[in-house]
Amino acid sequence: MDRISTNLAQKLGISAILLQQANVNQTQQQISLGKKILTPSDNPADSVRLLDLNESLSRLDQFQDNLDFAKNRLSLSEGTLQAVTSSLQRTRELAVQGFNATNSASDKAAIAEEIFQRLDEIVALANTKDASGDYIYSGFKSQTQAFTGNSDTGVFAFQGDQGQRLLRIGENREISDSNSGAEVFFDLQDKDGNAEDIFSTLYNLATDLANNRPALEQMDITTVGLPANTETVTINGVTYEFDSGGGVGAGNVAVAIGGSTDATTLNLRNAINSQQAAGNTDATASVVGSVLTLTADVEGEGTLSFSDGTSGDLSPTLPSIPLYDHLEQIDTALGRVLDVRAQLGARLNVIDSQEQTNQDFELSIKSTKSQIEDLDMAEAISNFNLQIVALQAAQQAFVRVQNLSLFNQL
Amino acid sequence: MGGDLLLTGLSGLNAFRNVLNTTGHNIANATTEGYSRQRVELDARTPQLSGGGYVGSGVTSSSISRLYDSFLATQFRSSSSASSDLGSYLNLATQVDTVLADSNVGLNVSLQRFFNAVQEVADDPTSIPARQVLLSEGEVIQNRFNTLDQLFTDLTSQINNSLDDTVADINNFAKDIAKLNEQIVLATGIGGGNPPNDLLDQRDLLIDGLSTKTSVSTNVQEDGSINVFIGSGQSLVLGKVANTLATQPTATDPEVKDIVFVQSSGNTVVTKFMNGGDLGGTLRFRDEILDTSIDNLGQIAIALSAAVNEVHTNGVDLNGAQGQAFFNEPSVGVAAGGGNLGTLAASFDPATTASLTGSNYTVAVAAGNYTITRSSDATVVASNPLGGGSITVDGLNFDISGLSNGDTYTISPPLTKDVASIFSVGITDPREIAAALPVVSAITPSNTGSGKLSNISINNLSTGTLPNTITLTFDSGNNEYDFSYLPGPTTGSIPYNASSDNGKTGTITVANFGEISFTLTGVPQNGDTITLSDNAGGVGDNRAANLLANLQTSLSMSGGTASFQDTYGQLIADVGRRTQSAEANGLAQGALLAQTTTAKDSISGVNLDEEAANLIRFQQAYQAASQVVLTSRTIFDTLLGAFR
């Protein structure tokens, strides 16, 4: 352009200054906020990525919250079960001590008393509440007391349910923050597969001790079929021979085969009890239906012996001592509690590793975010200085050019 | 001969006075907007034939013309239209751009906080403070929707005002141009064909001004008048006649204005023909950003309330009652015709809100067929034989199971753009937040197998209490779970083969309660039982809250491709992109405009240095011409002296 109007020259000078001012202003805002992106239009793609990253960060924060909740509850549960474990172990020691035949009735009563105390302690532990006042072993019914019953009533009930709360601790990870009390304390089985719970076990143990119940070995023999003639069974050194009227071998005690298993069982009982009365054997029998219960006359283990010659018509269950059964039941309960504690430990480990994962993730998001939105201060400030210099230059140039006029020379 | 020299000198004096006058005029108008510098055209006068040949007889100023390039003027106007178009577009778009992503006004942060609060409730369902926070966050969302809607309503009225103003400006320009046309024709005639330069400048300036309002094209007539067309060829000025534009509410929405041409035969709507200038930019913003944003916001409101309510009403609250609607859902109006025997229910389909048309629909049933007609364009959108279930059309869900022959219905969904303004939280008591599910399962401890039941979910819940416990008993002979429940009593079975069905979903529908779905896993043994019972007292249950929290990332919008936050993010990105491109195009267009202005100005603009030089030059010429007169006198005196 070889010719330019005076008016336009001035306008161009001013708009150059305005442009520089706008640049300075934008850079100044960026510097004062430390951000590259001031509005989405500065960089739409990046600003939406920022939204996504912020969402992820916020979710991670929330996961940390959830994780803390889960961790607190699981730790509380772990602490509670630790107390339960030591209490059960103490009870077990007491039980072993209590079986000692040298204890007097009052010694046993004293031991029973402590077991009752321990029972109440464990019931109280099973009814532990968390910081928000929720029972931790009640399942979803968290404001319903988990267990009722105590050493006075001897009747125990679980009032919660099997519900397990899941907390989200990672983008694709949920973890249960509790165990149902039914699983921990209640849904146990004894060696015969009958339902049993920790509280009843302790209660029965303590009651038996308090009643000075002896540690006698017991055995159940069920008559499942009618034994054939001349078949024998040997109990504690005496051989009983089943007889349909043909007489028995020398030294054998005759047991008449009755019309039914019940009748035959009854005959066997009578035979055993008469041998016991005669001092030939040290076991006493009692019968319910076709189940015959043998009880040793002397305390201790291995006091009952049984040898079956009826080709399976009689079905014995292993000898047991009720007091020892209680002990075994305590071991089962301890095993269950330890199982659950192992589970809790595993979950706490998962939580720890998830926490680590979340933190790694958070760090990587934060660094990505910083790359997108954070201003390179060194660059921005040097730009800023440059822009200020440019602005000053534009202003000075404007003033100098404005002073140039031929009229000044006329 | 001497007389000729005097006349020649005189002609120079006259001509240079004209030139000096014009230079003065140029200097005086150096800063007058729209002024084109003028130039005196000097011509040598016709020579006189004498014995020695043709002798020159001086100079004459044949005309005074302005230096003006109509091609550059047209280019300038189109640049100026485009530049103000982008300017007003950017001006409006920036308002939306800055607000949408603002953490204090935008929806994204509040959505995030809402779902975080849901998780807090899931962490501790019995905590009233956590529930209170969730309720407050719900109110924050309500507030955000209302605020954004208010912003958009304000923008709509701002646009209406700006359209009114622009149309008034255009009308004034048109009137003034028509008046100048008249004067120019007159002045040209009087001046014997000499152009009335300053009037032409004034008219061009008006047309330049008009070009910032809308795009302009012109057509110069032989008599000197100019015809002006705007938009895509609508004639605004024809000679001395100016047409009038006006605004009027659109046929579909009284709050939105159309541009019309006022004609004696009635107004013609020309909104869609208007482009360029403030008018074009404003209309384009309304089309591209405002309407999209309003619709998008409404769609999020519809989808969010529907999805949250769906979960919430299938849960039970802290009082053990069925959850109510968490957000007041915009309801679709259904008006039944007289004499209807059946029933029809209609609701928004959250996944396909993008297909909403804003139209009303009619449903008619005849001869075992039902027909759904869209009222806006009288198109039949669905026509099928009667049957159970429901059909989704244009983002609306029609429950057609209750239709009966002869029925007619009118369906009037609220406009998407109105939804955000009425968005609100439906519950007030924190205990009313439904964090639990109404059913709880229990696996009988004495089961010998490992069969399990998990992931219970509830649909179509009608009451918070399951009337009776349902026991599922495994039957290994038929590989199925048998169940029976009251009321009824109803019995049924769910086939389950442990070897192939692990993870299978079973569903039991309980009359007057709802539909219970669950996942079956493990290897059950014959006679194993699992019970489903009412979750009475289950205040620690957080399953419904977990389901609510899952909504945050579930792809429930845009036909199952986007979450709520995704959809909102897309809106932000869309507006951001449009703003960015307007900004970039604005810069480019600005540069183009500056260039065109410079080009135009380099021809028409006054350069004071040049004028100063001209002053000196023509002053000298004038002085020389006076010397010619003086010389002529001296010659004459010399001649007279010779006779003395």
Average pLDDT on B10-34 reads: 91
Q: Where are the beta strands (DSSP E) in B114-266?
A: 216-220, 226-230, 234-238, 241-242, 244-249, 257-262
Average pLDDT over residues B253-264: 87
Residues of A in Cβ contact (< 8 Å) with B572 = 40, 44, 47-48, 51
Contact between residue A262 and residue A289 where contact means Cβ atoms under 8 Å apart: yes
pLDDT in tens, A299-324: 777 788 888 888 888 888 877 877 78
H or E element in which residue B377 lies? none
**Are both B108 and B146 inside the same structural domain?**
yes
Q: Tell me: do B97 and B245 sit in the same domain.
A: yes
- Give yes or no: residues B205 and B147 share one domain: yes
Query: Rounded CA gap, B634 and B34, in Å?
Result: 48
* A394 CB-near residues (< 8 Å, 6+ apart): A13, A16, A17, A20
- State which CATH number among 1.10.357.10, 1.20.1330.10, 3.10.350.10, 3.30.2400.10 fits the domain covering A55-210+325-359: 1.20.1330.10
Distance from A73 to chain B by nearest Cα, in Å? 10
The answer on B79 and B62 residing in a single domain is no
Query: What is the three-class DSSP state of B183?
Result: helix
Residues B111 and B133: their CA atoms lie apart, in Å, by 13
Confidence of residue B2 (pLDDT cuts 50, 70, 90): very low
Does B203 share its domain with B262? Answer: yes
Q: Which amino acid, B150?
A: Q
Q: Are B440 and A140 in contact, with CB atoms under 8 Å apart?
A: yes
Helices B108-123 and B128-190, axial angle in degrees (round to 10): 170
Cβ contact, residue pair B108, A406, below 8 Å: no
Judging contacts by C-beta atoms under 8 Å, the chain B residues touching residue A182 are 445
- What's the CA gap between A340 and A247, in Å, rounded? 60
Higher pLDDT, A371 or B354: A371
Place of tokens 């004209």: B18
Return d(Cα B425, Cα B394) in angstroms, integer. Answer: 27
Least confident of A5-9, A15-19, A79-83, B581-585: A5-9
- The residue of chain B nearest to residue A19, with distances taken between CA atoms, is B587
Instruction: Kindly report, residue by residue over B308-366, the tens digit of the pLDDT.
Output: 998 999 999 999 899 999 999 888 888 888 888 888 888 888 777 777 777 788 888 88
Mean pLDDT of the region A184-191: 84
User: Which residues, other chains included, contact A104 with Cβ-Cβ below 8 Å and sequence gap of 6+?
Assistant: none
pLDDT 10s digits, B512-526: 888 899 999 999 999
Residue B217 resides in a domain: yes
Question: Which residue reads 């869309």 in tokens?
Answer: B574
Which residue in chain B is spatially nearest to A39 when comparing CA positions? B98
Is there a cis peptide before residue B489, judged by omega within 30 degrees of 0? yes
Q: Is residue A268 within 8 Å of A292, Cβ to Cβ?
A: yes
Cβ partners under 8 Å of residue A68, min gap 6: none
Residue % of chain B over a pLDDT of 70: 99
Is residue B85 scored above 90 in pLDDT? yes
CATH 3.30.70: which residues of chain A? 216-320
As given in the structure block, the two tokens for residue B97 are: 């751009």
- Nearest-CA distance from A260 to chain B in Å? 31
A55-58 LR contacts (CB < 8 Å, sep 24+): A55/B108, A55/B112, A55/B565, A56/A361, A56/A365, A57/A362, A57/A365, A57/A366, A57/A369, A58/B112, A58/B113, A58/B116
DSSP B288-334: IIIHHHHHHHHHHHHHHHHHHHHHHTTSB-TTSSBP--SB-PPPPEE
Asked if the structure places residue B322 within a domain, the reply is no
Inform me whether the pLDDT recorded for B610 exceeds 80. yes
* B629-633 contacts, C-beta under 8 A, 24 or more apart: B629/B6, B629/B9, B629/B10, B629/B13, B631/B5, B631/B9, B632/B2, B632/B3, B632/B5, B632/B6, B632/B9, B633/B6
C-alpha span between A103 and B360 (Å, rounded) = 93
Residues B586 and B617 in one domain: no
Look at strands A253-256 and B38-44 and give their pairing.
unpaired
Residue B314 lies in a domain: no
SS3 state of residue A148: strand
Q: Which of B413, B539, B403, B621 lies closest to B131 in space, CA to CA?
A: B539
pLDDT tens for residues B288-297? 999 888 888 8
- For residue A175, give the amino acid letter: I
Q: Is residue B429 part of a domain?
A: no
B98 and B181 part of one domain: yes
- What average pLDDT does chain B have? 89
Q: Cβ neighbours of residue B104 under 8 Å, at least 6 residues apart?
A: none
Q: Is residue B102 part of a domain?
A: yes
Claim: this prediction has a pTM higher than 0.90: no
> CA quadruple B534, B536, B542, B545: dihedral positive or negative?
positive
Residue range of the domain that includes B617: 2-67+606-643
Torsion of CA A67, A70, A71, A76, to 10 degrees: 160
Total domains in chain B come to 4
Residue A1 has pLDDT above 70, yes or no: no
Q: Identify each DSSP E strand in B430-555 by its residue range.
A: 439-443, 452-459, 470-475, 480-485, 490-495, 504-510, 514-521, 529-534
Separation CA B12–CA B622 (nearest Å): 7
Mean pLDDT of the residues in chain A:
88
* Greatest mean pLDDT among A62-66, A101-105, A237-241, B498-502: A62-66
The confidence score (pLDDT) of residue B368 equals: 84
Is the CB of residue A134 less than 8 Å away from at least one CB of chain B? yes
Return the closest-CA partner of residue A255 out of A279, A280, A232.
Answer: A232
pLDDT of B578: 92
DSSP B17-54: HHHHHHHHHHHHTTT-TT---EEEEEEEPPPEEETTEE
Tally of CB atoms within 10 A around B486: 12
Whether residues B203 and B112 share a domain: the answer is: yes
Nearest 5 degrees, angle CA A254-CA A260-CA A263?
55
Q: Phi first, then psi: what are they for B360, rounded to 5°?
A: -85, 165
CB A44 within 8 A of CB B578: no
Report CA dihedral (B616, B621, B625, B626) to the nearest 10 degrees: 10
| Mean pLDDT of all residues in B1-6 | 66
Residue A67: pLDDT over 80: yes
- In this predicted model, what pLDDT tens digit does every residue of B39-48 receive, in sequence order? 999 999 888 8
Residue among A41, A45, A51 minimizing CB distance to B583 = A41
**Please, are residues A410 and B612 in contact by the beta-carbon 8 Å criterion?**
yes
Distance from CA of A294 to the nearest CA of B (A): 28
Domain assignment of residue B313, yes or no: no
Do B589 and B628 lie in one domain? The reply is no
Instruction: State residue B1's pLDDT score.
Output: 45
* Fold held by A216-320: Alpha-Beta Plaits (3.30.70)
Between CA B257 and CA B247 the distance in angstroms is 6
pLDDT category of residue B218 using cuts at 50, 70 and 90: very high
Residues of chain A with CATH 1.20.1330.10: 55-210+325-359
Q: Concatenated DSSP letters for A190-248? A: -TTS-EE-HHHHHHHHHHHHHTT---EEEEEEEE-SPPPTT-EEEETTEEEEEESSS--
Which has the closest alpha carbon to A316: A285, A343, A351, A347? A285
Position B529 in a domain: yes
B108 and B192 fall within a common domain: yes
Shared domain check, B202 and B279? yes
Q: What does the pLDDT read at residue A189?
A: 81
Which residues contact residue B266 at a Cβ distance below 8 angstroms, ignoring those fewer than 6 apart? none
Same domain, yes or no: B126 and B98 = yes
Q: Which residue has the tokens 């429950």?
A: B399
* Least confidently predicted of A143-152, B31-40, B372-381: B372-381
Estimate the share of chain A in helix, then strand, then coil, as percent rounded to the nearest 5.
Answer: 55, 15, 30
CA-nearest of B95, B251, B245, B257 to B162 is B257
Q: Which of A6, A41, A61 to mutate to test the interface with B (most CBs of B within 10 A)?
A: A41
pLDDT attached to residue A2: 72
Instruction: Give the model's confidence band at B436: pLDDT under 50 very low, under 70 low, under 90 confident, else very high.
Output: very high
Q: Quick check: B315 and B439 in contact, CB under 8 A?
A: no
Let me know: does B539 contact B471? Beta carbons within 8 Å: no
User: Do B602 and A139 make contact, defined as CB atoms within 8 angstroms?
Assistant: no
The predicted pLDDT at position A327 comes to 86
Q: Which amino acid is at A301?
A: E
Percent pLDDT > 90 in chain A is: 39
Confidence of residue B487 (pLDDT cuts 50, 70, 90): low
- Buried residues in A27-60 as b, exposed as e (16+ CB within 10 A): beebeeeeebbebbbbbbebbbbbbebbbbbbbb
Helix (H, G, I), strand (E, B) or coil at B398: strand
| Contact between A168 and B97 using a beta-carbon 8 Å cutoff | no
Taking residues B545-565, report their average pLDDT.
87
In this complex, the residue of B119, B552, B605 whose CB is nearest that of residue A66 is B119
Q: Report pLDDT digits (tens) over B25-65.
A: 999 998 888 899 999 999 998 888 888 888 888 899 888 99
A410 Cβ neighbours under 8 A, 6+ residues apart: B612, B615, B616
Radius of gyration of chain A (CA): 44
Query: How near does any CA of chain A get to the CA of B122, in Å?
Result: 7
Is A214's pLDDT higher than 80? no
A39-52 pLDDT, tens digit each: 888 888 888 888 88
How far apart are the CA of A40 and the nearest CA of chain B, in angstroms?
Answer: 5
Distance CA A91, CA A99 (A): 12
**Nearest in space to B291 (alpha carbons), one of B93, B20, B81:** B93
Nearest to A48 among B120, B572, B605 (CB): B572
Residues of A in contact with B549 (CB under 8 A): 168
Residue B131, pLDDT above cutoff 80: yes
One-letter amino acid for residue B292 of the chain: T
Look up residue A182 and give its DSSP letter. I
Closest residue by Cα to residue A132 from B178, B404, B539, B477 = B539
pLDDT at B489: 63
